[in-house]
Structure 1
Amino acid sequence: MEMLCAVLLLAVGPALTSSVKSSGESLLYPYGTDEGDAKNPKSDDGTSPEIPIAVPYTFYGKEYTSLYVNNNGVVSFGVNVSQYTPDPFPLNIGCPFVAPYWADVDNRMGGDVFWRQTQDAAVLSRCTADINTYFPEIPFTAIWAFVATWDHVAYFGSASKKVNTFQAVLTTNGKIAFILLNYADIQWTTGRASGGDAKTGLGGMPAQAGFDSGDKINYYNIPSSRTPEVLNIGGTTNVKVSGRWVFQVDVFVAPVTTDSDCLL
Structure 2
Amino acid sequence: MNYGDIAPPSMEVEIGYDNWEAHGSLRTCYPNNTIDVVNLHSSSNINVRGRWAFATSLQSEGFSCGYSSAPGIFYPFGSAAGDTFSFRSDDGSSPLIPLLPSFPYFGRTYQQIYVNHNGDLTFNQPLFQYVPNEFPENSTRDIIAPFWIDLDNRGKGSISYQQYTTGDVLQNATRDVNSYFPNVTFTATWVFVATWDRVAYFPNTGTETTFQVVLISDSNLSFVFMNYGAIAPTLQKAQIGYDTIGSSHHVSLRTFYPNNTIDVVNLHSSSNINVQGRWAFATSLRSEGASYDVVGVKLKVSSAENLSEDEIEERILKPFGDLLKKRGIDVSDIRLRRFYKTEL
User: Partner of 1:128 in structure 2?
Assistant: 174
Q: For residues 44 and 226 of structure 1, do their structure 2 counterparts lie closer, same or farther at Cα, with a shift above 3 Å needed?
A: farther
Question: 2:137, 2:243 within 8 Å by CA — same for their partners in 1?
Answer: yes
CA distance in 1, matches of 2:264, 2:240: 8
2:223 to 178, 199, 212: 178
Output one character per residue of 1:155-211: Cα deviation in whole Å (capped at 9) or x when no partner: 11115x2211000000101100000000011113xxxxxxxxxxxxx22x4211000
1:74 to 108, 120, 126: 120
Q: How far apart are residue 226 of structure 1 and its match?
A: 7.1
Question: 2:139, 2:247 within 8 Å by CA — same for their partners in 1?
Answer: no
Q: How far apart are residue 230 of structure 1 and its match?
A: 2.6
SS of the residue corresponding to residue 110 of structure 1 reads coil
Runs (4+) off by over 4 Å: 252-255, 257-260
1:235 aligned onto 2:269: yes
1:142-153 counterparts in 2 under 5 A? 142-153=188-199
CA distance in 1, matches of 2:84, 2:142: 23
5+ long unaligned stretches in structure 1: 5-24, 189-201
Give the structure with the higher percent helix: 2
User: Partner of 1:13 in structure 2?
Assistant: none
Give the structure with the higher percent strand: 1
1:21-100 counterparts in 2 under 5 A? 26-100=72-146
Q: For residues 87 and 258 of structure 1, do their structure 2 counterparts lie closer, same or farther at Cα, with a shift above 3 Å needed?
A: closer
Equivalences, count: 224
Question: 2:139, 2:246 within 8 Å by CA — same for their partners in 1?
Answer: no
Q: How far apart are residue 228 of structure 1 and its match?
A: 5.6
Please report the TM-score for the alignment, with normalisation by the length of structure 1. 0.79
CA distance in 1, matches of 2:139, 2:124: 12
Q: How far apart are residue 73 of structure 1 and its match?
A: 0.3
1:211 aligned onto 2:242: yes
CA distance in 1, matches of 2:275, 2:156: 28
Question: 1:208, 1:226 within 8 Å by CA — same for their partners in 2?
Answer: no
Identity of aligned residues (%): 36
Q: How far apart are residue 257 of structure 1 and its match?
A: 5.0
Cα root mean square deviation, aligned: 2.4
CA distance in 2, matches of 1:208, 1:51: 23
Considering only CA atoms, is the larger Rg found in Structure 1 or Structure 2? 2
Q: How far apart are residue 241 of structure 1 and its match?
A: 0.6
1:157 aligned onto 2:203: yes
Please report the TM-score for the alignment, with normalisation by the length of structure 2. 0.61
User: Partner of 2:279 in structure 1?
Assistant: 245
Question: 1:109, 1:156 within 8 Å by CA — same for their partners in 2?
Answer: no
Q: How far apart are residue 42 of structure 1 and its match?
A: 0.4
